[in-house]
Chains A and B, each alone.
Chain A
Amino acid sequence: MAATEQDILEGLGKIINEITGIPASEVTPEKNFVDDLDIDSLSMVEIAVAAQDEFGVEIPDDQLKNLKTVKDVLTYIQN
């Protein structure tokens, strides 16, 4: 994987900003999507689809439901 965790975080921040309007600067690893960022399940699907286009990593529904925090997504994409 050529992309560093910082690259992925920046890319994810842009995607989340585009979809939800949340400033990219608030998308930090420790944030929980539901509790901290108030992102609903359909928005998570949108984010997963956009992340697939951006990073080339598919996130199936049964995996997506386990990704609770930004850090979880970073780890999933890197691995």
Chain B
Amino acid sequence: MSANRVRVVVTGLGATTPVGGDVTSTWTALLAGQSGVETLTTDWIDTVPVKFAGTAAVDPAGVLPRPEARRLDRSEQFALVASREAWQDAGAPEVAPERLGVVVSSGIGGISTTLTAYDTYRERGWNRLSPFTVPMLMPNGPAAWIGLDLGAQAGVHATVSACASGAEAIGYAMDMIRAGRADVVVAGGTEAAIHGLNMAAFAAARAMSQRNDDPQGASRPWDRDRDGFVLGEGAGIVVLESEEHARARGARVYAYCSGIGYSADAHHITQPEPEGRGQIMAMTQALTDADITGLDVKHVNAHATSTPAGDVGEVQAVAKAIGNHPLVTSTKSMTGHLLGGAGGIESVFTIKALQERIVPRTINIDNLDDGIDVDLVYGANRTLPAGDIAAVNNSFGFGGHNVAVVFKGA
């Protein structure tokens, strides 16, 4: 690692989630241990075995001007709401357009638009489709709209890796700044996948909780009785900036975005590799990239989605790659799993935890599963020590994608 490498800082945060329409309300809800999961009443609910999800607390179509909202897929609406919050939070930095980039991803893209448009096409014909159907369904749509909104010309990208997409976007954004391609990059993830087909398909993969009699207790990472993930929706966005650019304009710095690790399991298309090799490799690389050791890491926002296969294996990998000392939590116990949005919102939460030195508890752990040898935060929130500390956000995706991002306190 080069001693004079460009350092990347976080200067803005934005989020819209199942527990709040912005960062402040979301973070307050997480610290209060509130679940954003609720029973659904949609017209297709009788056709699927899962009857609940983490619907966004605030409908983005009600936040955006009507002419704008109608041209956007819901995943794009979330992304614009969160990116505008993050941009304002960063102080709307003055930056040359050719030095401003966007990297925002989703796991599935404009899936609801695809399905609705298919119905329109079949039932009413091609000429009844909105001329904006393609930009609504394309997976780079959220990034492209944010790029247009901000006039970003340094590159607008969408890195797709299922549930690791949002974290991979933040890593790619950091790489853009380090490589000198941009001074400021808006990055994160978004998802709007609460649709009958997705619910049916994930249920067919036997991946979703069916705890229909207790929706708010359904997302229970590391609990012995967990039975699958809970789908959530929303977006989380960060503004990343070279430290030099941020300091020159006197920006508030939340944290350093200081390390990224990527790996692929090369094992199975959906099952995690049982020894955690890929996860360990991603975390180890992220620490090396950040030029820190496991002892510097005091907190891990885990991927832990409440599936029987994934949760325990992940903390065993954390213990091997980082150690068993960090405070580990899964905020998915409250938000559900935002798929491609997860790495976005959970990076925001990791940064807030560093800023406020507090880790929100994992809710719904009634009977801790066996085989867990890390310091899980449950029962009550825990405080983080003062001083120079780091935290890791893990995101893993179908396909065997593993991404670990390291943030360091400012």
Contact = CB atoms under 8 A, between A and B. Distances in A.
Contacts of A18: 66-67, 70
A42 B67 contact: no
Interface string A28-70: 0000000000000010011001001000000000000000000
Contacts of B67: 18-21
A2 B71 CA distance: 32
Interface string B66-98: 111010000000000000000000000000000
B131 A46 contact: yes
B130 A49 contact: yes
Contacts of B65: 21
A42 B71 CA distance: 11
B132 to A, nearest CB: 7
Contacts of A49: 127-128, 130
Nearest to A20: B67
A73 B131 CA distance: 19
B70 A19 contact: yes
B229 to A, nearest CB: 37
A70 B65 CA distance: 24
Nearest to A53: B128
B132 A42 contact: yes
Interface residues of A, number: 9
B242 to A, nearest CB: 36
A42 B70 contact: no
A45 B70 contact: no
B131 A45 contact: yes
Interface string B309-329: 000000000000000000000
Contacts of A19: 67, 70
Contacts of B131: 42, 45-46
B65 to A, nearest CB: 6
Nearest to B65: A21
Contacts of A20: 67
A35 B130 CA distance: 23
Contacts of B128: 49, 52
Contacts of A45: 131
B274 to A, nearest CB: 51
A20 B67 CA distance: 5
A46 B132 CA distance: 9
A67 to B, nearest CB: 16
Interface in A7-28: 18-21
B66 A46 contact: no
B150 to A, nearest CB: 20
A45 B71 CA distance: 13
A21 B66 contact: yes
Contacts of A42: 131-132
Interface string B125-167: 0011011100000000000000000000000000000000000
A59 to B, nearest CB: 10
A50 to B, nearest CB: 10
Nearest to A41: B131
Contacts of A21: 65-68
Nearest to A45: B131
Nearest to A21: B67
A21 B65 CA distance: 8
Nearest to A59: B127
Nearest to B130: A46
B347 to A, nearest CB: 34
A56 to B, nearest CB: 13
Given A19-B70, A21-B68, 17 more contacts: A18-B66, A18-B67, A18-B70, A19-B67, A20-B67, A21-B65, A21-B66, A21-B67, A42-B131, A42-B132, A45-B131, A46-B130, A46-B131, A46-B132, A49-B127, A49-B128, A52-B128
Interface of A: 18-21, 42, 45-46, 49, 52
20 contacts: A18-B66, A18-B67, A18-B70, A19-B67, A19-B70, A20-B67, A21-B65, A21-B66, A21-B67, A21-B68, A42-B131, A42-B132, A45-B131, A46-B130, A46-B131, A46-B132, A49-B127, A49-B128, A49-B130, A52-B128
